[in-house]
């Protein structure tokens, strides 16, 4: 059973697999893109990364290679460095450049590898833990050693090792079309199709390259501690199940997107969220962060909040976002929310969220009815 299937027993998502809602896109043109591969020494790659010439977009997965592998005794960062020191071939990393870019580019494949090389030369991981080569299958001559412990000849071999880098440059901007058909979106999706599958939210993040303020807002909003009192504890277990983190972030993103822009929903969740990622303009993120946290505070002050939003045993995203959006709208108008528990029970009893959920988000009017009726109940 996949991690995604495990989550279905945990959360009543009603549209968990957004790919099913996505439309097939037929392109009547070829992308105007050039690509070439160059071999770059490790030392220069790390320098370009640290100087932000090679940029890691906000949407990229966090560094996960240093998480314990409970199934084997292997340490993935150590194995990668060991491969370089042994002279084994290293897969290429991929850097994407905008038409107007000169030196700078976005790393769209190879973050774990590039960060591992950088951490090794620094001598520690992002969390401050010392980086020493360890685990199964590490060559005995450098087992247990950090970069500083290696002889100068071995350091020099490491720094001078050439890593293949594929540079992809757009010669012209994409034609105006569906966000999911943009060249960088398709490249990111297809280059990252190995390993374990990307979630729809991870694919969507690439669309926000030019909307960094929104990406940063969503990242900061997902770090608010109050979410942990509302979402299932099992979902919030990112240490053992890294996949959960992306599913959680997607739920936060969707909830805030509906709070800000639900009236623009046209009956396709994928298209709605893609367009929101690409084009929703934020001048000042502070009021949005403030209202988001205020809504969460309203929710968690209720007794037994960890039992709310579970009318059929599983956590219902549809019910949660209905209530969240209603509370957000009320607070945004400077009003207060009274008799929360009584009004919440009314929402559960009228069942609008169930009708919408059963149609898998395909009915625009059901969606608007769900949000508007929930708002009317809480605003009364």
The answer on pLDDT for 26 being more than 90 is no
DSSP string, 214-255: HHHHHHHHHT-GGGGGTS-TTTT-TTT-THHHHHHHHHHHHH
Q: What pLDDT is recorded for position 314?
A: 87
Count other C-beta atoms under 10 Å from residue 157's C-beta.
16
Local structure of residue 29 (DSSP, 8 states): S
pTM of the predicted model, to two decimals?
A: 0.71
pLDDT band (50, 70, 90) for residue 59: low
Count other C-beta atoms under 10 Å from residue 40's C-beta.
19
Residues 6+ apart with CB under 8 A from 296: 224, 226, 227, 230
The predicted model gives 361-378 an average pLDDT of 86
The predicted model gives 106-124 an average pLDDT of 93
Q: How far apart are CA 367 and CA 359, in angstroms?
A: 10
Q: pLDDT of 155-212, one tens digit each?
A: 999 999 999 999 887 666 655 545 555 666 667 666 665 555 667 777 777 777 778 7
The answer on pLDDT for 308 being more than 80 is yes
Beta bridge partner(s), residue 40: 163
Tokens of 217: 């807002």
Domain chopping of the chain, boundaries:
3-23+198-379, 33-170
Per the rule left: phi > 0, alpha: psi between -120 and 50, beta: everything else, 172 is beta
Q: pLDDT of 79-113, one tens digit each?
A: 999 999 999 999 999 998 877 777 788 888 898 99
Share of the chain above pLDDT 70, in %: 78
The predicted model gives 135-149 an average pLDDT of 94
The answer on pLDDT for 73 being more than 80 is no
Nearest CA to 106 out of 98, 96, 116 is that of 96
């Amino acid at each position: 059973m996949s991690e995604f299937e495990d989550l279905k027993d945990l959360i009543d998502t009603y549209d968990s697999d957004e790919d099913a809602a996505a439309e097939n896109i037929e392109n009547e043109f070829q992308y105007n893109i050039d690509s070439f591969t160059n071999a770059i020494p490790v030392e220069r790659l790390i320098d370009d990364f640290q100087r932000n010439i090679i940029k890691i977009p906000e949407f990229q997965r966090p560094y996960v290679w240093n998480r314990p592998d409970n199934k084997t005794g292997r340490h993935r960062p150590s194995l990668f460095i060991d491969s370089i020191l042994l002279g084994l071939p290293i897969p290429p990393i991929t850097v994407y450049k905008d038409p107007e870019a000169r030196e700078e580019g976005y790393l769209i494949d190879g973050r774990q590898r590039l960060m591992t090389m950088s951490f090794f030369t620094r001598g520690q991981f992002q969390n401050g833990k010392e980086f020493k080569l360890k685990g199964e299958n590490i060559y005995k001559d450098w087992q247990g050693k950090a970069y500083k412990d290696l002889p100068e000849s071995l350091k020099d071999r490491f720094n001078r090792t050439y890593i293949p880098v594929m540079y992809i440059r757009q010669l012209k901007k994409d034609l105006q079309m569906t966000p999911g058909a943009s060249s960088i979106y398709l490249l990111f999706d297809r280059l990252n199709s190995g390993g374990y599958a990307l979630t729809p939210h991870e694919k969507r993040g690439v669309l926000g390259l030019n909307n960094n303020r929104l990406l940063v807002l969503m990242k900061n909003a997902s770090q608010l501690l109050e979410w942990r009192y509302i979402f299932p504890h099992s979902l919030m277990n990112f240490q053992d199940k890294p996949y959960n983190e992306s599913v959680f972030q997607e739920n936060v993103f969707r909830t805030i997107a509906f709070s800000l822009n639900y009236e623009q929903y046209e009956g396709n969740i994928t298209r709605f969220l893609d367009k929101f990622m690409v084009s929703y303009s934020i001048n000042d993120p502070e009021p949005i962060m403030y209202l988001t946290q205020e809504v969460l505070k309203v929710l968690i002050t209720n007794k037994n909040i960890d039992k709310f939003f579970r009318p059929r045993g599983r956590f219902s995203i549809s019910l949660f976002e209905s209530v969240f959006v209603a509370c957000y709208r009320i607070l945004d108008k400077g009003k207060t929310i009274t008799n929360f528990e009584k009004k919440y029970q009314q929402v559960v009893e009228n069942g609008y969220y169930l009708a919408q959920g059963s149609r898998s988000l395909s009915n625009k009017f059901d969606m608007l009815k769900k949000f508007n009726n929930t708002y009317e109940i809480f605003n009364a």
